[in-house]
Each structure stands twice: as structure tokens, then as C-alpha cells.
A and B are shown apart, each in its own frame.
Chain A
Amino acid sequence: EAQVTQNPRYLITVTGKKLTVTCSQNMNHEYMSWYRQDPGLGLRQIYYSMNVEVTDKGDVPEGYKVSRKEKRNFPLILESPSPNQTSLYFCASRLTMGGRNEQFFGPGTRLTVL
């Protein structure tokens, strides 16, 4: 089944404790991205990657890191989480840039930073 998977789905952590949210897709998609969703703000892009070893900042990259060493994986790293990073996070992928290629979303990771 074609899908984007994220782990963990739920995470409660404390300020300053490094964490990684994994994202994997099995569709051989080139383009992957991370979003955070906050009430009243919609989805905002954190980072995106157009292909292996190619990543770039989105609209809200502060406090986050990413890497794209393999095509299928795009982990999101919070080196020192803070309470303002409490949010719902989505990983997404699409085949390539342009066209009607829809973006497939993972199920979301709900993160709480105490």
C-alpha cells in the first residue's frame, strides 16, 4: 500500500531533550516536506527536500533540522525542543515538482513539549 508513515504518532517530552520524528514513504517520491499545524494558523511548512541531499527552509524552520540521506526517509530533528514547538506535525511527499502531483500526507505526530 502506498503510504507515508510517521513515528511516533504521539510524544510528550520535556524542554531541551533532543528528539527525532521519523518519516518514510514507499512511493519513490522525490519531494518531501514537513509541516506544523497550529489552531487558527493552518499548515506551515518547516523544511522541504527536492531530492536526496537537497533540503531547504520553509516558512518556520527555526528550531528544527532535517536530513535526506535516502530517498524514502526524511526525519525531523528537534535538537532542543521548547514549549512553543508543541504542535501537530505532518510529513508529506509528492512524486516531483510541478503538475497536478498531489501531496500525500502522513498520519501526523502530535508533540507536546513540557
Chain B
Amino acid sequence: AQKITQTQPGMFVQEKEAVTLDCTYDTSDPSYGLFWYKQPSSGEMIFLIYQGSYDQQNATEGRYSLNFQKARKSANLVISASQLGDSAMYFCAMREHQGGSEKLVFGKGTKLTVNP
């Protein structure tokens, strides 16, 4: 079974509108972390936002916020006021412990296109 599921292969949004990118996860580790990364066409991976499993409040970083619903095991990324530069691949990832180590598992990504 997939640990991280991103159900939207592609999403379109109009400039200046908000968009939500979905991410659901599966883990039995009580202490885990969730990350979102952006990958523009140039290829680099850019960290956007982090949510810890024990964090009481949803994480926010500028125009990015994470809608964390622990009981539903979802960690959706919300981008407000979309800009043309937001067009990119977006990856959800989960850090979980395995034995004495930890792993970071990525979803397959969502390609966001912002239309002018």
C-alpha cells in the first residue's frame, strides 16, 4: 500500500485564486512529520512547509498553509493568491521512524499549472 497518496496528477488554477493540493498518508508511527516540496521546471527541490504529527495548529508559511486533518490522515497544501511562478510539480512527503532509523517517503506528485 502506498504510504503517501496524491490523487491529482494535474491541477489548473487561475492566477490570484487559491488552490488546494491533496495528500493523504498512511503510517502507524505516532511521531511523524509531513513536508511539501515544490519542483519547478528547472528541476530543483524547494522546501515549502512542514507539519509535525503533534503540532496543534496548522502550519503556515507566507502564501502556503497546510490543512492538517489528523483523524482523516490528510495533509493538504493550500496556496493562496496563486502566481504564475507557482506553476510546478508539488510533492508531499512523510517522515516516519522505522526501527532505529527514519525514512522520508514521497508521493508521486501533482503538476500545478497557473493560468493568466
Interface size of A by Cβ–Cβ distance < 8 Å? 26
Among B37, B47, B102, B108, contact of A98 (Cβ-Cβ < 8 Å): B102
Residues of chain B within 8 A of A56, CB atoms compared? 101
Please tell me if the beta carbons of A105 and B91 are within 8 angstroms of each other in the complex: no
The 7 closest A-B pairs by CB, nearest first: A105-B45, A42-B108, A43-B106, A102-B47, A42-B106, A100-B50, A97-B102
Grouping DSSP codes into helix (H, G, I), strand (E, B) and loop, the B interface class, with mixed when no group exceeds half, is strand
**For window 27-44 of chain A, which residues contact chain B by CB distance below 8 Å?**
33, 35, 40-44
For chain A, residues 58 to 114, give those with C-beta under 8 angstroms from any C-beta of chain B: 58-59, 88, 90, 92, 97-100, 102-105, 107-108
Chain A residues in the interface with B (C-beta under 8 A): 33, 35, 40-45, 48, 50, 56, 58-59, 88, 90, 92, 97-100, 102-105, 107-108
Query: In the complex, are the beta carbons of B103 and A45 less than 8 A apart?
Result: yes
